Homo-oligomer: A and B are copies of this chain.
Amino acid sequence: MNADKRWIERVIQMAVDNVERGEDPFAALVVRGDRVVGSGINCTHQSHDPSAHAELLAIREACRTLETPDLSDCELYASGEPCPMCMGAIYWAKLGAVYYACGKADAADGAGFGDPLHSFYADMAGPLEKRSIPMRKMDSDRKLEPFRVWKERQARADGEHT
Residues B68 and A8 in contact, CB atoms below 8 Å apart:
no
Most buried by B among A56, A83, A133: A133
Q: Knowing A5-B138, A50-B69, A121-B124 are in contact, say whether A147-B92 is a contact too (CB < 8 A).
A: no
Provide the bound-state CA to CA distance between A113 and B5, in Å: 38
Copies of the chain in the assembly? 2
Q: Knowing A60-B51, A88-B87, A136-B98 are in contact, say whether A44-B16 is a contact too (CB < 8 A).
A: no
Provide the bound-state CA to CA distance between A5 and B137, in Å: 11
Q: Knowing A83-B88, A92-B85, A116-B91 are in contact, say whether A48-B25 is a contact too (CB < 8 A).
A: no
Contact with B along A50-71 (1 / 0, CB 8 A): 1100001001100110111100
Q: Identify 14 new A-B residue pairs, CB closer than 8 A, beyond the known A51-B89, A106-B144, A113-B147.
A: A12-B143, A12-B145, A27-B146, A44-B69, A48-B63, A48-B67, A49-B64, A50-B69, A51-B56, A88-B124, A91-B116, A98-B136, A110-B146, A111-B147
